[in-house]
Amino acid sequence: MTRIALDGIAHSYVRHPRTDKDYALRPLHHVWEQGMAYALLGPSGCGKTTLLNIISGLIIPSEGRLLFGDRDVTRLPTEQRNIAQVFQFPVIYDTMTVAENLAFPLRNRKMPKALITARVAEIAAMLELTPDLNRRARGLTADAKQKISLGRGLVRSDVSAVLFDEPLTVIDPALKWELRSKLKAVHRALDLLMIYVTHDQTEALTFADRVVVMNEGQAVQIGTPEELFERPDHTFVGYFIGSPGMNFLPARVEGNRAYVGGNTIALGAAYPELTDAVQIGVRPDFTTLTDGPGLTVQVRRIDDFGRKRLAHVTLDGLPLVATVPPGWAGDGSQARVGFDAPHVLVYRNDVRVEGVAA
């Protein structure tokens, strides 16, 4: 069993970093477990690619240690790390057939011929490449080429980790979900540690058991897709995960009540007295226009998404997005809005505060 441990890994392109801003990747402690699928998710420039390059050996981190099992590999070159990687653009060997491409990493490691053939057949079947095995790789479409790249990444069973660097960038949108589900199926079939870098939430949430949400060089939350949706630890996670993102309102919090302007909102838990910048956060999915009791809001616009409708409203001038329930009868510019108390979360300086069950 191999696991990969990040022991205070950090990277800065500045020689003597002083503030957080000097870090491309701020110090991070984390353990990647065998057999799990992780995604590094964040906007461009958030440090996810830096982290991936540290694991693959392209970058030597300026601080901390990287352990594969018990072995310190912080300074080892890529080829001694026993990893596989799939890149953004298809990397194939033009002169070889599809089968030879898939066999290449095994052949270089002098595996017995029979084993190579069996493994290549297995991986090709998983990725539906079997009919093309004896074709020249260079003549295939971009989608097929990227499948070959994926196959070469997955063909070795003894790797410590398989790294994916935005592998679906060049794939036609209509085929993306197919490859996404294929990757997930492959992960279940093979007991490999996989790390997947992307800026697309659907790719990350669909693929991974655990998602690392990154922003400005910092891992702001590591959690399951459910956790990221239900209990974002950071306002950035609330904003970045979910379409549209979470509503945030500056508030004063006392016990299990939040005060936003002249309005009182019930909370699902009790909180100690909080200072500094306090906000409550609630997803549009748990903010609902209602015919029953609720806070009065001004309706600015209602967007029809077909399978759902979202209202853009203001509460005392503060913008909010709320779900319009199917049977909602209201019209005009005024409406009432209700919040689902257990899903109203409290943030202090952008970090979620844990309440005490009331």
Q: What's the rounded Cα separation, in Å, for the pair 290 and 297?
A: 11
Q: Pick the stretch among 21-29, 166-174, 272-280, 333-341 that binds other proteins (CB under 8 A).
A: 166-174
How many C-beta atoms surround the C-beta of residue 332 within 10 A? 6
71: exposed, middle or buried (Cβ count in 10 Å: 0-12, 13-18, 19+): middle
| 267, 277 contact by CB (below 8 A) | no
Contact code string over 68-97 relative to other proteins, x by CB under 8 A: ---------xxx---xxx-xxx-x-xxxx-
Q: Binding to other proteins by residue 333, rule CB under 8 A?
A: no
The amino acid occupying position 262 is G
Q: Residues touching other proteins: how many (CB under 8 A)?
A: 64
Q: Binding to other proteins by residue 300, rule CB under 8 A?
A: no
Q: Binding to other proteins by residue 349, rule CB under 8 A?
A: no
Instruction: Kindly identify the residues of this chain, within the stretch 226-245, that bind other proteins according to CB under 8 A.
Output: 226, 228-230, 239-245
Please report how close the Cβ of residue 104 comes to other proteins at its closest, in angstroms.
Answer: 5
Q: Binding to other proteins by residue 122, rule CB under 8 A?
A: no
Q: Pick the stretch among 6-14, 101-109, 124-132, 334-342 that binds other proteins (CB under 8 A).
A: 101-109
Please report how close the Cβ of residue 184 comes to other proteins at its closest, in angstroms.
Answer: 6
Q: Binding to other proteins by residue 256, rule CB under 8 A?
A: no
Choose which of 19, 44, 275, 333 interacts with other proteins (CB under 8 A). Answer: 44
By C-beta, is 242 or 294 nearer to other proteins? 242
Q: Binding to other proteins by residue 157, rule CB under 8 A?
A: no
Please report how close the Cβ of residue 52 comes to other proteins at its closest, in angstroms.
Answer: 12
Please report how close the Cβ of residue 276 comes to other proteins at its closest, in angstroms.
Answer: 26
By C-beta, is 173 or 292 nearer to other proteins? 173
Q: What's the rounded Cα separation, in Å, for the pair 68 and 65?
A: 10
Q: Pick the stretch among 12-20, 105-113, 124-132, 345-353 that binds other proteins (CB under 8 A).
A: 105-113
Q: What's the rounded Cα separation, in Å, for the pair 221 and 235?
A: 10
CA angle 286, 288, 290 (to 5 degrees): 150
Token pair listed for 47: 């440090």
Choose which of 104, 268, 302, 340 interacts with other proteins (CB under 8 A). Answer: 104
| 196, 207 contact by CB (below 8 A) | yes
| 161, 193 contact by CB (below 8 A) | yes
Question: Which residues have a Cβ under 8 Å from the Cβ of 94 and sit 6 or more positions away?
Answer: 136, 137, 138
Choose which of 179, 205, 212, 282 interacts with other proteins (CB under 8 A). Answer: 205
Sheet holding 351-353, edge to edge: 247-250, 278-282, 345-348, 351-353
Which of these, 193, 231, 195, 197, lies nearest to 214 by C-alpha position?
197
Of the chain, the end-to-end C-alpha distance in Å amounts to 43
By C-beta, is 178 or 316 nearer to other proteins? 178
Which of these, 141, 114, 4, 123, lies nearest to 69 by C-alpha position?
4
Q: Binding to other proteins by residue 331, rule CB under 8 A?
A: no
Please report how close the Cβ of residue 266 comes to other proteins at its closest, in angstroms.
Answer: 21
Q: Binding to other proteins by residue 225, rule CB under 8 A?
A: yes
- Compute φ and ψ for 191, nearest 5 degrees: -85, 70
Instruction: Kindly identify the residues of this chain, within the stretch 135-154, that bind other proteins according to CB under 8 A.
Output: 138-139, 149, 152
- Distances from the Cα of 141 to the Cαs of 32, 159, 171, 179, in angstroms? 34, 28, 10, 14
- Distances from the Cα of 167 to the Cαs of 87, 100, 195, 223, in angstroms? 6, 21, 11, 22
Choose which of 115, 118, 185, 277 interacts with other proteins (CB under 8 A). Answer: 185
By C-beta, is 52 or 258 nearer to other proteins? 52
- Give contact residues for other proteins (rule: CB under 8 A): 43-44, 56, 58, 77-79, 83-85, 87-89, 91, 93-96, 104-105, 108-109, 138-139, 149, 152, 172-174, 177, 180-181, 184-185, 188, 199-202, 205-206, 224-226, 228-230, 239-245, 283-285, 303-308, 312
